[in-house]
Structure 1
């Protein structure tokens, strides 16, 4: 695991058969979370968007991960999309109960707003955020294009900063630059919001979601842009939760290590990242 109390670098999942024998031991089997959490200090855990996990499941996740690890779980879609933050008090109560079960392993739980949830619903968002426990960390990811105009953005950022809730910084530029003749790229783009990147911290901690280019080395131009900002946030004492997404599972841990190297080069206050089972050759990944 990265020896840092402030940088939480990881993937949107903790389990992939493509990782066995390289990022994770070939023998990891059903113990993938335990193995993953010894190598990277954070996971998003996007599966919670599709269904509320049981209390027993969340407790098992907590116990499988070591102290210092962080889960940045996505709000269930029943809250964010199906009910659009209205009339979801019971769902929210159940969700907070699960987040509390994570104890010291709870990172920011992030609320991904639907593409239809626009700035005209700012009062709804405000009321919902005001109902959240002030002793827990949360982040908000806007996806409606209207949030990205100057006036609406100022209103959103000001509200979040006043509550010390992070705004998810979402960077889809790398994937947008990929070859759209690849059907997997086209499908990934169909699912992603086409919103401009934002790189300014809102709140005392930061959550970044980096949507990578399928050719690993091509991502360097964007990673090099993020590195000095993240290094400065770390130097300022801010916790940074940085998640690497890829249409190929095998690439995610490789990109984490690559970004870590960029951060060290940018002066980030980081210890070297420990080696894994067998390092994946990124030049081979670039052939995908």
Structure 2
């Protein structure tokens, strides 16, 4: 028995992808429709940079096929500016701002911490204790929103649904068994983040699911993954999905996670600068024997003639991101 495995990309609106991943002359408003027919899950990045609106979330829901899943990135206002301090109202605004419009397509919530934020047990205990684990609890928090989202709220979920949270760390102080124990106590996943060696890569299993972010094998946000690298990630994903832990896991804690019958997997490629992300995602899916959303429904998995761009180095490539990295 294995958990559900979803492989996708981080964001979908990138100028360099147009005419490469996206066909020439595809309208920008159709890019999500297009990407969601190729891959089964995408991270929403806009929610990290600013509050959105219920109309956007509803549109994203309607633009994607049945069974599609969105991960939602928590606001940097909470993680980077407030640094998790006095965030009751910002959390309420975030949950009030339209997330419930995703309905059955709402997946895990990602909280990415800045490289300068170190592990302080009391601070993180207080933050984790505030995170809701179902949509009813999130709605109770959302009801306490303030004027910043006035006129653009969605406060009532369609039904009670579970909520999952994952955290991505970027400071070496988190390589601490106390942090792993804290995550397990709150049922929060520690993101397995491959950052080309820039920040810690940990594989401690701390929740009933695993969340991966693959930012680049050799160059952060830019380099593609070799066939051998994707084979290694596929093997790890298979083991985790079957409830086990890989023998060579990179761990902060010597205490093993409880054995489970299965774990769901959410994996997102974030090496988008040179347009590798969607192709690496597709290749990893093939290695895992997974089909894209429209496979078997009379449409091709990938349009004929598509090829992944060759791996480039230095200043070559297809351009830069539309948003700066945090």
Contact 2:3/2:241 (8 A) holds in 1:
no
**Aligned to 1:259, which of 284, 308, 320?**
284
Instruction: Determine the structure 1 residue equivalent to 2:226.
Output: 219
Contact 2:47 2:75 in 1 (8 A): yes
**Paired residue secondary structure (1:110):** strand
Structure 1 residue 6 corresponds to structure 2 residue 4: yes
| SS of 1:139 mapped into structure 2 | strand
SS at match of 1:73: strand
Moved more, 106-115 or 96-105: 96-105
Q: 1:279 to 1:166 in 2, by over 3 A?
A: farther
| CA–CA separation in structure 1 for the residues paired with 2:16 and 2:306 | 11
Match of 1:103 in 2: 103
Q: Distance in 1 between matches of 2:18 and 2:114?
A: 34
2:211 to 207, 210, 214: 207
Contact 2:183 2:206 in 1 (8 A): yes
Cross-structure match for 2:188 = 165
CA contact under 8 A between 1:11 and 1:42: conserved in structure 2?
yes
Shift of 1:116: 2.3
The RMSD of aligned alpha carbons is 2.4
Which string of whole-angstrom CA distances, capped at 9 and with x for unpartnered residues, describes residues 79-116 of structure 1?
A: 11111111121110121223323221111111111222
**Equivalent residue for 1:139, pick from 151, 166, 177:** 166
What secondary structure, in the 3-state scheme, does the structure 2 residue paired with 1:44 have? strand
Shift of 1:25: 4.5
TM-score by length of 1: 0.79
What residue ranges of structure 1 are gaps of 5+ in the alignment? Answer: 177-193, 265-269
Moved over 6 A (4+): none
Structure 1 residue 21, shift from structure 2 partner: 5.5
Secondary structure at the residue paired with 1:114?
coil
Alignment coverage as a number of residue pairs: 254
Deviation at 1:208, TM superposition (A): 0.4
Identify the match of residue 286 of structure 1 among 304, 311, 314: 311
Unpaired runs of at least 5, structure 2? 135-162, 244-261, 317-326
Q: Distance in 1 between matches of 2:211 and 2:181?
A: 17
Equivalent residue for 1:15?
A: 13
When you count helix as a share of all residues, which structure comes out higher?
1
2:121 — aligned with what? 122
Query: Structure 2 length normalisation: TM-score?
Result: 0.70
